[in-house]
Amino acid sequence: LMVGCSSGGNTAAPAAGEGGSGQAASADGQEIQAKIGVVGFLSGSGAAYGEAQKAGLELALGELNEANKGKLKIELKFEDSAGEKEGAINAVNKLINQDNVVAIIGPTLSGEMFAAGPVANEAETPIFGISNTSEGINDIGEYVFRNSLPESIAIPTAMKAAVEKNGLKKVALIHASNDDFSVNGYKVMKATAEKLGLEITGEATFANGDVDFSAQLTKLKQTNPDALFVSALYKEGSMVVKKARELGFAGTILGGNGFNNPKVFEIAGPAAEGLIVATPFSPEKKDDKVQAFVKAFEAKYNKKPDQFAAQAYDSLYIMSQSLIAAGKADREELRGQLAQLKDFTGVSGKLSFDEKRNPIGDAVVVVAKEGKFVPFE
């Protein structure tokens, strides 16, 4: 039985009760109407992250609303934060207070989540990060969740593989100093280098928005490292990779989660060749669920999904499952169901949470080869 319409309200507000206006729980057999907010980096220097997330969410939305007919209907309300903390805070406030959403997916950047997560947490509204990989995201509060694999797991996996296969001994580090994600990734790189007994020959920083990295890279190259470890978002990160190759650096280049987007190949061009990254998702994975997703994504968008699309896609399946289990679009009930999530298998792998709601999962290591990432083996 179908009730309500996509533009209708939802039952997140305590006042919006059962029945009446067609906003109802499934306990009485009616379709649950759930409005979920999405905060994404949809414009600006990292817009390809937000676009991938939007694409993944919209694909999942179509599939879920079809499959859950009569049980649950999800409506998504997208807000563009432009990758800014202020933008993320405003979007979260609007979604909670004006749109009355039952939960929020996003924001894209760890820094945005550090700024906007507390707002949602204070308002007792579940907020679900799909690309926040920094340490400490879950410490914001008990309404904060994420399915994005922390860099503290992903980076060491990539570094160990690179050290083993490429015989690295001396490394140089470079990172964006005004971005929480990039700073966190750098700290993980440094700590892991020390743990693995690597010699750090030099370190350098830049700021998001910079376009000239020659001074830093010339200096780092002179320290003669076997590898350059780059912690950055795709735009600056790809320009760093390109410049390093232009300056003649021939060693290994390894990056963090920011590089898991095809824009890297557009910006760095052939200089991307050999770049090593860890990711929880690869469209090349020989797995039925993954391949069905890749096929559906390609049919809809005419390109392969990246990790950001995959984690976004998974997040809506998690929301759907949890809303149905909750039996109504209620923030508190939904939080409870999300916290109980165990062994969810999505396209970005198997997911369960530890006691701090941190995702437990594995990363695969990939390497850039002829315009795409392939398994590093």
Binding site for ligand 1QQ (CB under 6 A): 46, 49, 108-110, 131-134, 181, 233, 257-258
Closest separation in Å from C-beta 50 to ligand 1QQ: 8
Q: How far is the CB of 166 from ligand 1QQ (least distance, A)?
A: 24
Please give the full DSSP string across 140-157, using - where no structure is assigned.
G-TTEEE-SPPHHHHHHH
Query: Could you tell me the CA-to-CA distances from 89 to 14, 111, 141, 369 in Å, in that order?
Result: 23, 11, 16, 39
The dihedral through the CA atoms of 175, 181, 183, 188 has a sign that is negative
Residue 181 or 249 having the CB closest to ligand 1QQ: 181
The residue among 64 and 104 lying less far from ligand 1QQ, judged by its C-beta, is: 104
> Are residues 146 and 352 in contact, defined by beta-carbon separation less than 8 angstroms?
no
Question: Residue 275: helix, strand or coil by DSSP?
Answer: coil
* Residue nearer to ligand 1QQ on the CB measure, 150 or 251: 150
Instruction: Give the shortest CB-192-to-ligand 1QQ separation in angstroms.
Output: 17
Q: How far is the CB of 49 from ligand 1QQ (least distance, A)?
A: 4
Closer residue to ligand 1QQ in complex, CB, 188/318: 188
Rounded Cα–Cα distance for residues 77 and 74 (Å): 10
Q: Give Cα separations from 255 to 96, 272, 361 (angstroms).
A: 35, 11, 19
CA distances from 81 to 32, 60, 138, 179 (A): 28, 22, 21, 15
**H/E element, 334:** helix 331-339
Chain residue whose CB lies nearest ligand 1QQ: 181
Q: How far is the CB of 1 from ligand 1QQ (least distance, A)?
A: 40
In angstroms, the CA 116 to CA 39 distance is 10
Q: Between residues 64 and 109, which has the closer beta carbon with respect to ligand 1QQ?
A: 109
30 versus 132: smaller Cβ distance to ligand 1QQ: 132
Minimum distance, C-beta of residue 114 to ligand 1QQ, in the bound complex (Å): 10
Closer CB to ligand 1QQ, residue 33 or residue 182? 182
Closest distance of CB 151 from ligand 1QQ, Å: 7
Q: Tokens at residue 15, please?
A: 């006042």
- Shortest distance, CB of residue 100 to ligand 1QQ, whole angstroms? 27
Helix (H, G, I), strand (E, B) or coil at 32: strand
Residue nearer to ligand 1QQ on the CB measure, 133 or 216: 133
Min dist CB 179 to ligand 1QQ, Å, is: 7
Cis check for the bond before 107: say yes or no (omega within 30 of 0).
Answer: yes
Least distance in angstroms from the C-beta of 148 to ligand 1QQ: 6
Give the torsion through C-alpha atoms of 364, 367, 373, 376, to 10 deg. -50
Q: Which is nearer to ligand 1QQ, 46 or 283 (CB)?
A: 46
Of the two residues 249 and 373, which places its CB atom closer to ligand 1QQ in the complex?
373
As a whole number of angstroms, the distance between CA 194 and CA 199 comes to: 7
237 contacts: CB under 8 Å, gap ≥ 6: 230, 231, 255, 258, 259, 264
- Counted residue by residue, the chain has a size of 377
Asked if 23 contacts 34 with a C-beta cutoff of 8 angstroms, the reply is: no
* Residues near 75 by beta carbon (within 8 Å), at least 6 away in sequence: 6, 7, 10, 33, 34, 35, 36
